[in-house]
Structure 1
Amino acid sequence: MTHLRQRMIEDMGIRNLADNTQSAYLQQILSYAEHFHCSPEKLGPEAVRTYQLYLTNTRRLSPSSISVATGALRFLYKITLKRDWAVNEIPIPKRPFKLPVILSREEVMHFLGSIDSLKHRTILMTAYAAGLRVSEAIHLKVTDIDSQRMTLRVDQGKGRKDRYVMLSPRLLEVLRAYWKALRPALWLFPGDLIGQPITRNAVELACQKAHRASGIAKPITPHSLRHAFATHLLESGTDIRTIQLLLGHRSLATTSRYLKVATTTVCATASPFDCLPQVTGPAVTSVSPAYF
């Protein structure tokens, strides 16, 4: 391990960056160094610009992917190498704003009914019922279920934050039936490796299989269930601040995007066209054909 890599790992550890973020940043800097066949210490702002153009024009990566690489480069040059030019000379690409595709309640029910595995069906039911990220659902422990307070504890969710979410009576029944069938000890959803939880990839593969079996045309990922949870709560009258707390969003602006897809907000508003008197076109006079 090079001295620069070791120091960057230490700097990320000091700032308590998430494990996934640390892995992603290290991989991005490795790709950057291999592209130039040179240590990043010897490269400057012009090399960074050239690399960003390469990612944009040659590899044609999405703005989200380029933003990850940019974040890694900014951290390396600003924090680890302490280069003054790092912030001004490394621009972050603007991401396009896209609304999530929302499943209806009927589609959620049909999708969940298409999952043949008890464990996979239960974990995806839990993701919908509590609005969990897939990373949060797979790391649930048996002891995180509090049937007295009717809560689920999310231990170190995104941003290394703990939070409590709702445990619905119906989900509690599902989890009790699941526990009686499989008897998990530590992890609520254990994986194939002893002592390890189910992997994110296993859940995503199960989701893809159920999506094909359901025949639903809309795209479906485990995160789609979290989107559906938030939107269905909003449509049922739950205030946006409560939804923010349940989802664990840092900013209310992130939660507010669901206002744009909730049918009670979008579709319940009367169009001004409906307030106009009945519109009729000019009278059409029938003309007899001249030659037939």
Structure 2
Amino acid sequence: MSNADLLEEWGAHLARNRRRSPHTVRAYVACAARLLDNLPESDWGAVARLDAQALRRQLAARRMEGIGNASAARELSALKGFLAFAREKAGMAEAEPVRLRGPRLKKGLPRPITPDDAINLADVVAEFAEEPWIGARDRAVLLLLYGAGLRIAEALSLTGKDIPLGETLAVTGKGGKQRIVPILPIVREAVAAYAAQCPWPAQADLPLFRGAKGGPLSQGMVQKAVARARLVLGLPATATPHALRHSFATHLLGAGADLRSLQELLGHASLDSTQIYTKVDAARMLETYRSAHPRERD
């Protein structure tokens, strides 16, 4: 077998059996490709026989290239998965798993923006777009992130069959897990306005959000539009499209939403992922206290 054959099988396994996103599949296949480049043989047995020392050497080489802790942790996770898959293919699934601890990561808190800033960001993105329909498109995408808590990949995965939006929307998130999210009138109106202006009629089997030439809209184009609007509004670099989802969660929690409901709305597999927003809200309360308390102002 060639390296290309191994990588094709690995990528297909990730997409079909593990239901990883296209972005994750590309990243994990790239990690496996770097590992295979250093092997003298191209077969599952050669990969299956690798041990912790081999993975440690691979990570050390990547460190020399300048990757940080987060990237190293992701690379190790990808390599462990690749090695486990290789052992299954080589009939060595019962072998002792590789035990190699990744770098310790400091988990930072999400940085939400205010409700006014979230709406202003969507409006300014629309105002500065090259064409009115593109402005309507970007505004609709951003309101789906802030108004419904969608991930940007989830918003861009909507197709023509999803419109017109109703009061709720079935969203397929990470791991193929489906959830139902409520859709506010402002979000429904924004999506309808975009659909009415889009030069390409909506089709059930094609992406709802189109690029300037009619192809699927990329995340990068939305991120660039937000970066431009962020400068106009004087917002920090943390005001990204994903920050709108964080803001959705933080503002709901601050308004009294319970963690279990929030977990369902966000599509988190574990409540641990949702609990981080309790720290965000506490941090916001402390900041308010420090700016308002007479003793803190002395």
What range is the shorter-chain TM-score in? 0.7 to 0.9
Q: How does 1:84-233 map to 2 (within 5 A)?
A: 84-88=95-99, 90-115=100-125, 116=128, 117-145=135-163, 147-148=165-166, 150-154=167-171, 156-182=172-198, 184-186=201-203, 187-194=207-214, 196-233=215-252
Distance in 2 separating the partners of 1:270 and 1:203 = 35
Q: Which runs of 4+ in 1 moved over 6 A?
A: 268-271
TM-superposed CA distance for 1:6, in Å, is 4.3
**Residues 67 and 264 of structure 1: is their aligned pair in 2 closer, same or farther, counting only changes over 3 Å?**
closer
User: Which amino acid is the alignment partner of residue 28 of structure 1?
Assistant: C
Aligned length: 268
Please say if 1:26 is aligned against 2:24: no
Distance in 2 separating the partners of 1:8 and 1:197 = 26
**Residues 190 and 112 of structure 1: is their aligned pair in 2 closer, same or farther, counting only changes over 3 Å?**
same
Structure 2 counterpart SS, 1:164: strand
Residue number in structure 1 paired with 2:59: 52
Q: State the Cα deviation string for residues 34-74 of structure 1 (Å, max 9, x = none).
A: 3x364472654322112222333x23322221122112211
Distance in 1 separating the partners of 2:258 and 2:169 = 20
Distance in 1 separating the partners of 2:174 and 2:16 = 18
User: RMSD across aligned C-alpha pairs, in angstroms?
Assistant: 2.9
**1:259·1:265 contact (CA, 8 Å) conserved in 2?**
no
Distance in 2 separating the partners of 1:179 and 1:252 = 36
Residue number in structure 2 paired with 1:253: 272
What is the TM-score with the length of structure 2 in the denominator? 0.79
What is the TM-score with the length of structure 1 in the denominator? 0.80
**2:7·2:33 contact (CA, 8 Å) conserved in 1?**
no
Distance in 2 separating the partners of 1:232 and 1:6 = 43
Distance in 1 separating the partners of 2:16 and 2:143 = 37
Q: Name whichever of 137-146 and 71-80 sits farther off.
A: 137-146
Larger Rg: 1
Distance in 2 separating the partners of 1:138 and 1:270 = 39
TM-superposed CA distance for 1:119, in Å, is 1.3
Distance in 1 separating the partners of 2:254 and 2:15 = 41
Higher helix share: 2
Structure 1 counterpart SS, 2:98: helix
**2:139·2:190 contact (CA, 8 Å) conserved in 1?**
no
Distance in 2 separating the partners of 1:179 and 1:21 = 30
Distance in 2 separating the partners of 1:110 and 1:270 = 26
**1:45·1:85 contact (CA, 8 Å) conserved in 2?**
no
**2:121·2:230 contact (CA, 8 Å) conserved in 1?**
yes
Distance in 2 separating the partners of 1:182 and 1:6 = 37
Distance in 2 separating the partners of 1:67 and 1:232 = 31
**1:67·1:92 contact (CA, 8 Å) conserved in 2?**
yes
Identity of aligned residues (%): 28
Q: State the Cα deviation string for residues 142-191 of structure 1 (Å, max 9, x = none).
A: 3324655x01221x321112222111122222222222222641332122
Residue number in structure 2 paired with 1:289: none
Q: State the Cα deviation string for residues 76-106 of structure 1 (Å, max 9, x = none).
A: 2222134734432x32333211101120112
**2:149·2:248 contact (CA, 8 Å) conserved in 1?**
yes
